[in-house]
Copies of this chain bind each other. A is one copy, B any other.
Amino acid sequence: MHIQETFRALADPTRREILMHLSRQEMTIGEVTERFEITRAAVKKHLNILEEGQLISVHVQGRERINRLEAQGLSAVSDWIGYFDQFWDQRLGALKTAVEDAEKTKRKSIKGRI
């Protein structure tokens, strides 16, 4: 699927910051570039990668390219993370019935998840 592209896109701090900006309002490449201290070409590359990860969509309007935050990528990551919940739920169930496992199990981290 595209989950690899999405995780790759999220791995860079500049790209995550771009997503933060786009969450407040959609922007052209130029407007995004104003908010950083790198060249427009570098920003464009980041936007390409964000688009590949389905984290943004691009809408051409005349000579401008409007970049808009898109939910698909992030919800795919949410789903991926959700896969692990069942295992933590299992562990929690084990805690209830088997008290002797209490020492080995990290209660704090499990609680933080719920």
Q: Which residues of A contact B (CB under 8 A)?
A: 4, 7-8, 10-11, 13, 16, 19-20, 23-24, 57, 69-72, 74-75, 77-78, 80-81, 83-84, 87-88, 106, 109-110, 112-113
Task: Specify which chain B residues have a CB less than 8 angstroms from the CB of A112 in the assembled complex.
Answer: 71-72, 75
Task: Specify which chain B residues have a CB less than 8 angstroms from the CB of A23 in the assembled complex.
Answer: 83-84, 87
Assuming the A-B contacts A23-B87, A77-B77, are A71 and B8 also in contact, with contact meaning beta carbons closer than 8 angstroms in the complex?
A: no
Query: Which residue in B11, B71, B74, B87 is a CB contact (below 8 Å) of A10?
Result: B11
Task: Specify which chain B residues have a CB less than 8 angstroms from the CB of A7 in the assembled complex.
Answer: 7, 10-11, 16
Protomer copies? 2
A68 to B, closest residue via Cβ: B106
5 A-B pairs with C-beta separation under 8 A: A23-B84, A57-B106, A71-B84, A71-B109, A78-B81
- Give 8 closest A-B pairs by Cβ, nearest first: A11-B11, A71-B109, A71-B113, A23-B87, A7-B11, A75-B113, A74-B81, A8-B11
